Amino acid sequence: MYQDRHDAALQLASRLSAYRGQHALVLGIPRGGVPMAHCIAQALEGELDVIMARKIANPFFTYKAGKRETITVVR
């Protein structure tokens, strides 16, 4: 198990150590993934880039989340 995201990134970087110095490109996805990707890119001596993404909604099946713990499904 991992202590935190930083620990997870270090463990993943150690498993990817064969790519160290091989001009690796590490892609990070915002909201948690970018700091991890930065750590991995540093460990691999590679480059870091960020992919901006967002959810693509299905217009016929949408979720509306409110302050309550329930999720209302609108069809």
Count of structural domains, the chain: 1
Give the contacts of 25 (CB within 8 A, at least 6 positions apart): 46, 47, 48, 49
Rounded Cα–Cα distance for residues 2 and 6 (Å): 9
Q: Containing domain of residue 33, as a range?
A: 5-74
- Tens digit of each residue's pLDDT (9 = 90 or more) over 17-40: 999 989 999 999 988 899 999 999
Rounded Cα–Cα distance for residues 58 and 6 (Å): 34
Q: Tell whether pTM > 0.85.
A: no
16 pLDDT band, cuts 50/70/90, is very high
- Give the strand pairing for 25-28 and 47-50: parallel
Q: Is the pLDDT of residue 11 over 60?
A: yes
How many Cα atoms sit within 13 Å of 58 on the Cβ side?
7
Average pLDDT of the residues in 55-62: 72
pLDDT in the model for residue 64: 62
